[in-house]
């Protein structure tokens, strides 16, 4: 049976279409989820895409966190549902307290858009098991509020528990503490990443095919998950 991966659309979402396309290329069925619909329609995993949900008013992701669909996603994630938050989706996961820390204004105060090398640090998550530990990948980054921050105790905990999923290599594009580009929750089913793997799944439009591994990973995870 083909896995069904939900892709949420919020007002102001920008990359929901690309995320759905990445899901399809990986071999799953994308299911479009609307922010105002409190049902997940039986999906096996969820992607919170990039963009500017609710215009980034108050704080990035601060309003989206209260969308009806998020109540269900938070409950399901705590029960083991794989959830990937990309860029604005990462911000929403932090606002929803599914991930620690926060994403703040880039230290240099400029929007940064470029192809970025990442080093995959953790391959034990639902979204990174297709990679090798230490593997370097190339995917685009595009953000104005992508600087990951947390208190020292939280950063040390993430490091100590192996929950830093990826780091920036060859230059930190936004000033994120400890070069952190992606993190996971203790269970490994929830991952937030600031760069955009969904923009690196086709040779025609991406700098590489490296982003596809995030989407094939979750399919591999679902096959091995208990029924």
Mean pLDDT value across residues 145-154 = 96
pLDDT by residue (tens digit) across 81-120?
999 999 999 999 999 999 999 999 998 988 888 999 999 9
Q: Hey, what's the torsion of the CAs at 150, 146, 211, 204, to 10 degrees?
A: -170
Q: What is the mean pLDDT of residues 72-82?
A: 98
pLDDT above 70 as % of the chain: 99
Architecture of the structural domain at 4-224: 3-Layer(aba) Sandwich (3.40)
93, with CB counted inside 10 A (0-12, 13-18, 19+), is: buried
Residues involved in catalysis: 87, 196, 198
Quickly count: other Cβ atoms within 10 Å of residue 113's Cβ.
Answer: 12
Q: Are 47 and 82 in contact (CB under 8 A)?
A: no
Please write the tens of the pLDDT for every residue from 120-144: 999 999 999 999 999 999 999 999 8
Instruction: Enumerate the domain spans of the chain.
Output: 4-224
Instruction: Supply the pLDDT for residue 111.
Output: 86
Residue in the block written with tokens 């990445």? 22
Q: Is 180 left (phi over 0), alpha (psi -120 to 50) or beta?
A: beta
């Amino acid at each position: 049976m083909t896995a069904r991966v939900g892709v949420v659309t919020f007002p102001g979402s920008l990359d929901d279409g690309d995320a759905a396309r990445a899901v399809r290329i990986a071999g799953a069925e994308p299911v479009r989820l609307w922010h105002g619909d409190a049902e997940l329609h039986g999906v096996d995993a969820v992607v919170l895409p990039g963009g500017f949900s609710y215009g980034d008013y108050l704080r990035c992701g601060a309003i989206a966190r209260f969308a009806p669909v998020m109540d269900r996603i938070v409950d399901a994630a705590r029960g083991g549902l794989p959830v990937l938050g990309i860029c604005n989706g990462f911000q929403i996961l932090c606002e929803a307290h599914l991930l620690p820390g926060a994403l703040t204004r880039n230290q240099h105060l400029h929007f940064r858009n470029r192809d970025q090398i990442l080093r995959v640090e953790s391959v034990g998550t639902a979204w990174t098991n297709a990679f090798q530990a230490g593997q370097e990948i190339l995917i685009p980054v595009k953000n104005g509020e992508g600087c990951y921050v947390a208190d020292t105790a939280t950063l040390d905990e993430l490091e100590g528990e192996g929950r830093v999923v990826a780091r920036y290599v060859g230059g930190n594009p936004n000033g994120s503490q400890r070069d952190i580009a992606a993190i996971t929750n203790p269970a490994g089913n929830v991952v937030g990443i600031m760069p955009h793997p969904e923009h690196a799944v086709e040779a025609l439009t991406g700098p590489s095919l490296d982003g596809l591994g995030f989407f094939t990973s979750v399919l591999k995870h679902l096959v091995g998950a208990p029924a």
